[in-house]
Amino acid sequence: MRNDNAPSPSRRTFLAGAAGTAALGTAATAGASNEYDRETPKTVNDGDLTEHDLTMDDGYRLRVWERTAADDPEEAVIFVHGMTYGAVPMFDPPVAPEFGWLPYAAERGQATFAPDMRGYGESDRPPEYDESPEANIPRLSFEREARDLLAMTHWLRETQGFDRIHYVGLSGGVWRGRAVYTLGDPEYATVTLAGGSFETLEVGVDPDGPFYLPHTRDEFDAALTGELPEEAAVDDWLGGEEYTAQEVLDGVWKPIVESNQRLAEPDTVANPLVLQQATYHPEHIDDPTLVIRASGDGTIDREGALNLYDAVGAAADRKRYVELEGGTHFVFLERRREPFFEEVFRFQQRY
């Protein structure tokens, strides 16, 4: 595993050229601080998931999780979670070492990085979580999150030594990606917009509050199983031949309820709410883009996903729409997760 301060020798030579100069320009657009915590990263879980703490320009500490299997990976992937649940439960839940999207990508030679966005997971805990939801108004925004992601992208280029970086936005991560391209020019190798749509309606919350919504274990179970077809066997749909549905649900819930999102009430976590301050039109996304949706997604319909594909600014021969049969909005945690991952990986390798 690389040290935060030292890119591998093969990349250090490359960074001395034009790529390093371009990355500095990206950081200036983001308005991000160049100062990061440089402590030796700690390793957690099965010994392969590494944590990094990055300090943003306003002093906020952002947790970034890394899983890398290759000795000298040539490319990195930023995985950005959606609303309610953070990076580890969505991308690397402790169901089994090989279960999640990060292990899948890491085994294929990619260095994977997944941030806990503000208010999620192990990033700094908002003090508002110790008060009632209505006691405070929202202060998180897509714009602030986009600036954090641009700063993280600069860190991956300048400190970790990656010039080739892919972006994968999941659900709310699609909106965050749109904001990133509206505010800056990240120059990602590819962009994946998974489980997202393009609508003219605002998705941000009421600026008058509340700051967060309580989210219980029962609501979590209902969210992950609520879109399953009536005739589906839950164990088969979620776990397939390898796991029971309970093993999947318990494994995904555990890192949520044990994180900084936990509330005082038993089996309850905070769902942070985000303000929308602009449209963040997908036309700004001009790098190769994959829009992907599961056919049984009850949260994002086909029309919305196709509208997103049409609105993306990449040239027609540099974007693709894929609909995968047999999954819901949480397909990446279901039995059809690996075909979903494979579609994304194949697209990334085309560019």
Nearest-angstrom CA–CA distance, 30 and 72: 28
Confidence of residue 202 (pLDDT cuts 50, 70, 90): low
SS3 82: coil
Strands 61-67 and 49-55: antiparallel
> Rounded to an integer, what is the distance from CA 91 to the centroid of its chain?
8
**CB within 8 A of 311, min separation 6: which ones?**
198, 281, 282, 283
Confidence of residue 142 (pLDDT cuts 50, 70, 90): very high
DSSP state of 40: P
Query: Higher model confidence: residue 266 or residue 48?
Result: 266
pTM for the full model? 0.87
Nearest-angstrom CA–CA distance, 109 and 101: 13
The secondary structure of 165-220 as a DSSP string is EEEEEETHHHHHHHHHHHH-----S-EEEES----SS--SPPTTS-SEEEEEHHHH
* pLDDT value at 43 more than 90: no
pLDDT of residue 24: 27
Question: Mean pLDDT throughout 161-172?
Answer: 97
Q: List alpha helices for the chain, DSSP H.
A: 9-15, 18-30, 87-91, 101-107, 142-158, 172-183, 217-225, 234, 245-257, 302-311, 337-349
- Please state, rounded to an integer, the average pLDDT across all residues of the chain: 88
Question: Mean pLDDT throughout 329-339?
Answer: 97
Query: In CATH, what is the architecture of 9-349?
Result: 3-Layer(aba) Sandwich (3.40)
Question: Mean pLDDT throughout 228-242?
Answer: 94
Q: Count other C-beta atoms under 10 Å from residue 132's C-beta.
A: 11
Query: Higher model confidence: residue 200 or residue 110?
Result: 110
Look up tokens 């962009």; give the residue. Answer: 191
Q: Provide the CB-side half-sphere exposure for 205 (13 A, CA).
A: 20
Q: Mean pLDDT check: name the lowest of 24-28, 292-296, 331-335.
A: 24-28
φ and ψ of 194, to 5 deg:
-110, 125
Is residue 128 a contact partner of residue 138, using CB atoms and an 8 Å limit? Answer: no
Query: Higher model confidence: residue 335 or residue 277?
Result: 335
pLDDT of residue 204: 80
Give the residue extent of every domain in the chain.
Answer: 9-349
**CB within 8 A of 256, min separation 6: which ones?**
85, 86, 89, 121, 220, 269
Single-letter amino acid code for the residue at 293 = R
> How far from 276 is each of 53, 96, 101, 170, 208, CA to CA, in Å?
26, 36, 28, 17, 13
